[in-house]
Amino acid sequence: MPSPCCTASHIIDSRFFAGGYGTEESRQVFCDYRRMQRWLTVEVALAQCQADLGIIPVYATTALTNTAHLELLDVSAIKNDIATTGHSLIPLLRAWQRVAGEEAGQFIHFGATTQDIQDTAQSLELRDITAILLRDLGDIIKVLAELADKHRDLVTIGRSHGQHALPTTMGLKMASWLDETLRNFNRLLSCQERLLVAQLFGGVGTMAALSEQGITLLNRFAETLGLSAPLSCWHASRDRLAEFVSVLALLTGGLARIANEVCQLARNEIGELAEPFSFGQIGSTTMPHKKNPELCEQVVVLARLVKANAATAFDTLCNEHERDYRAVRLEWVALTEASIFSCAAVHLTKSILAGLAINKVRIKENLDRFSVLVSTEALMFLLGEKIGKQSAHALIYEASVIGTGPDQEELLNRLISSPEVSRHFTRENLEEAIAPRRHIGLSGTIIDRVLAHVTTVPQLQTTPSLCRLRGTRICCEQLS
């Protein structure tokens, strides 16, 4: 019996592994049938606006509106016609004209060019994607704010260059995650203002086929679709899309930093944080004990893939003359992949943070074990009051790094045995000075500053609009 086969060859659409690379919600935005239905929706909006302005007859618009539904069209014929013509839109328009009737069909796509329709529809796709991302980022921000506040006083070891550094708090670490996520939330909001625009300028951007009412029609067309009207044609000017994918790269890169930190602190020798784990998950075919941080690793993978798509998006900026489809065809890949990967990244990050395990016992054990070594800055300033800061630095440096490095007791013994130290301090003075909780600085104040900023973002006080998927009753399976 031959092996079963399907055409879902891209990892995004894999019947087995798609869950790690996208969400069903985001994949539906770019579904072939929804994309074609969206083109019809844009065409109808154009016809209705033209009828309102007397450019085409009302009866034609009525017929076009009533028939602009993909389930009424011969999809197989469209597919075959695309293969024959090599054109992405004409086969759809021909199929629509056959259903709408010869007379009304003469007013289909009146005065527009293909890229006007497809660029406008793409803006609608990206409006849906930004709605999904803003909604889920809002959820992440709320969880991070709760975590930062809850663990504001949980003292832990701060690390730099992969080594123990100074005491900090888990709340401050999470406030840093929150602050960056807030910036990316605002970047996405700001980007929307430039990204979500209509396109209706004709073959070379002059509006020559739209008569003197071109600008009026553009404004009405954009308003009807809930988009903004651009000042000029952007057929060959793709900076809006490149900016959007760049924002996605920043956004997912920030989520990757969170995921990577959880991954690193989940190491067996550290054991302070861990992603959610449930019985039945298997980490290895050969090592039954493994609990791999695969959710965190996948967020990093997705961020790298989005970054790669950002490079592709920048390749769309250099176009020839008034129109160049090489940019558009790159966008069909880069925008789709970057959007779906980004939606997956925020979805996975929500899962990680919602079930984040914080091992307070292990955090305390690590802190107690290395409290002297992470408090050397405090010791340096304490000793510096009597012997000078630079002299104190040299003294603690020598006591800390000699040989293979001392443990806590050995370091204190070496310091107190120094005449320069024992002349001014007792061992009790040193032990009191190294208490980590005494050396978390303004952590609480900084956390409060970040938490206060959350309340200043109006869009976070209401749930962002859910994506407006313009559906069709036809199943995508029928396309194959």
Active site residues: 161, 284
**Would you call 117 exposed, middle or buried from its count of C-beta atoms within 10 A (0-12, 13-18, 19+)?**
buried
Q: Residues 374, 367: contact at Cβ < 8 Å?
A: yes
| CA dist., res. 90 & res. 96, Å (int) | 10
How many Cβ atoms are within 10 Å of 270's Cβ, its own excluded?
Answer: 15
Best CA proximity match to 395, nearest among 356, 360, 435, 423 = 423
3-state secondary structure 33-69: HHHHHHHHHHHHHHHHHHHHCCCCCHHHHHHHHHHCC
How many Cβ atoms are within 10 Å of 102's Cβ, its own excluded?
Answer: 8
* Radius of gyration, alpha carbons of the chain: 30
Q: Residues 6, 15: contact at Cβ < 8 Å?
A: yes
Q: Residues 254, 345: contact at Cβ < 8 Å?
A: no
| Token pair listed for 105 | 């069909």
